[in-house]
Amino acid sequence: MDTHYRCRKSHNRCHFFPTPLSRCVLFWDHRHRKNSHHSTQGDKDMSHHKHLTRLFSFISLLMISMAAAASEPASHAYDKAVQAIVSDLNQHKTDSFNKAIDAEAILDKTFDGLMLDANVKSGVRASLKTAIQTKIANSIIEHIPAGGHSKVLRIKPVANLMTALVRLDYGDNGNAYYDLQLSQSPNGSIRIVDWYDYSFGQTYSQNLRQIVAMISPTPTLLGKVFDIASNRTKAMDDMMELIKLYHDKKHDKVVLKVLSMDEDMRKNRMLSIIAVQSGNMSGNERLYHQALANLEHYYRDDPSMTFLLIDYYFLEKRFDKVISATDQLMKSFGVDDASLYTIKANALAGQGKYGEAVIQAEHATSSEPDYEIGYWSLLSASSKARNYAKAVETAQALEKRFSYNLGPEALSKDATFAPLIQSAEYKKWRSTRNRS
């Protein structure tokens, strides 16, 4: 297990370009999300918190009127609804999510200002609506492990909105953060009208606008959605070639195409993200790294790219940047988050600051006692810090809370724990445990 938590190829890719309309992908495919900078044991390789994890995922915002936001009973209604949705998702149930999602509201935002033939618009909108109502929730639960620990982190009003920050946990494949945007219908039900995905720094409706532009790629539409001058013939030719490459699943060539374009195109925000996503999907870590480097070059100071660039900083072993990014996200979220504490602990361990890593990992386990990955990070950090008493205490917690048997045979699969296994504290614990 790579206890420096460097990112590597795994399962955090997301679909940005649409598949043929009959199979239009309207959700980020969590199977490919590179999202694991977490520490774990043995065959549970949590050392890579690849939050890029499904690059288009959902990070969401809940929209309500200012009057409702000021009302304590209304706030309670939003909290109750979102808690029920996340609880159901953890149990692989989709009814609450499907009932809450307002496809019409999302599509109104998607098509706002887009010049499309009426018949084309009607057909595309109908296909998108069906996919929104039937595929998103199933896509989410497909990647949440049994007994998942997805969580509502906070609900608060922001201006005239009520925002609900949700962390979806995908086990070994990392996690994603969504700010759900909700409104309350006249009958009192809570509806999801959009969401903001921190992995991409944009809302789901913005994602769909790009998909629509890919389905009907006219110069005017591509220019409007991707902010490319429609009279730039070479740029439009490059875009058409890019769309074809992605449809043909030639993800490595998508990266190479983006990186070969002129600077105006390389620094285009969405094209930079497309290159990262395609590098991820290609399974070619070198290309993925190059795409991230391009994104970091132009968007290192963009707060909306903070979460995505953590992968790059792990690859570069720039652990100070990882720590800075987690601090920025924690401040932005306004809550303690076990996952971010764990990422920070892993970055500190990468710097060899094992004592400080133990402190951050303890923050993770104390803030969320049921967040398993935090315990693996704490076990690794305390073992490396030679704090064997803390390591044994953590191993005991893992056994009690998550039903592991962390005997020498299990821990010996990871060289990190070799000194722990030989310690007097560990031997005493195992001797006592075996007699009980």
Task: Please report whether residue 175 resides in a domain.
Answer: yes
More confident residue, 34 or 139: 139
- Containing 66, the helix (H) or strand (E) segment is helix 66-70
Alpha-carbon distance values, 358 to 145, 338, 341, 345, 395 (Å): 26, 13, 10, 7, 14
pLDDT in tens, 224-261: 888 887 667 888 899 999 989 988 999 999 999 999 99
Token digits for 69? 């936001």
Number of domains in the chain: 3
* Pair 345, 332: CB distance under 8 Å: no
Task: Please report whether residue 85 resides in a domain.
Answer: yes
pLDDT score recorded for residue 161: 75
Tell how far CA 70 is from the center of its chain.
30
Residues 306 and 371 in one domain: no
Q: How many residues does the structure list for the chain?
A: 436
CATH number of the domain enclosing 71 = 3.10.450
Residues 125 and 157 in one domain: yes
pLDDT in tens, 146-191: 777 899 999 988 777 788 999 998 877 788 999 999 998 899 899 9
Question: What whole-number distance in Å separates Cα of residue 230 and Cα of residue 130?
Answer: 31
Residues 96 and 191 in one domain: yes
Task: Please report whether residue 31 resides in a domain.
Answer: no
- Containing 177, the helix (H) or strand (E) segment is strand 175-184
Residues 169 and 244 in one domain: no
Give, as one character, the DSSP assignment of residue 135.
T
Task: Please report whether residue 41 resides in a domain.
Answer: no
What value does the mean pLDDT of the chain take?
83
Question: What whole-number distance in Å separates Cα of residue 107 and Cα of residue 126?
Answer: 10
Residues 300 and 415 in one domain: no
* Pair 259, 291: CB distance under 8 Å: yes
Question: What whole-number distance in Å separates Cα of residue 427 and Cα of residue 395?
Answer: 12
Question: What whole-number distance in Å separates Cα of residue 63 and Cα of residue 195?
Answer: 10
Question: Average of pLDDT values for 3-9?
Answer: 31
Residues 306 and 393 in one domain: no
pLDDT score recorded for residue 359: 98
* Pair 385, 355: CB distance under 8 Å: yes
Q: Kindly tell me if the per-residue pLDDT of 43 is higher than 80.
A: no
Q: Kindly tell me if the per-residue pLDDT of 75 is higher than 60.
A: yes
Q: 74-106: buried (b, 16+ CB within 10 Å) or exposed (e) per residue?
A: bbebbbebbbbbbebbbeeebebbbbbbbbebb
Residues 76 and 187 in one domain: yes
pLDDT score recorded for residue 199: 84
Residues 293 and 183 in one domain: no
pLDDT score recorded for residue 12: 33
Question: What whole-number distance in Å separates Cα of residue 47 and Cα of residue 53?
Answer: 14
Tell how far CA 335 is from the center of its chain.
17
Specify the range with the lowest mean pLDDT, choosing from 165-174, 343-352, 382-391. 165-174
Q: Kindly tell me if the per-residue pLDDT of 379 is higher than 60.
A: yes
* Pair 33, 310: CB distance under 8 Å: no
Question: What whole-number distance in Å separates Cα of residue 78 and Cα of residue 188?
Answer: 10
Residue 41 pLDDT grade (very low, low, confident, very high; cuts 50, 70, 90) = very low
Residue 306 pLDDT grade (very low, low, confident, very high; cuts 50, 70, 90) = very high
Position 432: which residue type? T
Task: Please report whether residue 19 resides in a domain.
Answer: no
Structural domain including 376 reads 336-344+354-435
Residue 60 pLDDT grade (very low, low, confident, very high; cuts 50, 70, 90) = very low
pLDDT score recorded for residue 230: 63
Task: Please report whether residue 321 resides in a domain.
Answer: no
* Pair 334, 177: CB distance under 8 Å: no
* Pair 392, 425: CB distance under 8 Å: yes
Residue 436 pLDDT grade (very low, low, confident, very high; cuts 50, 70, 90) = low
Residues 231 and 302 in one domain: yes
Question: Average of pLDDT values for 261-285?
Answer: 91
Residues 306 and 276 in one domain: yes
Q: Kindly tell me if the per-residue pLDDT of 122 is higher than 70.
A: yes
What residues form DSSP beta bridges with 156? 163
Residues 61 and 193 in one domain: yes
Residues 69 and 197 in one domain: yes
Q: CA torsion sign, 297 to 302 to 307 to 308?
A: negative
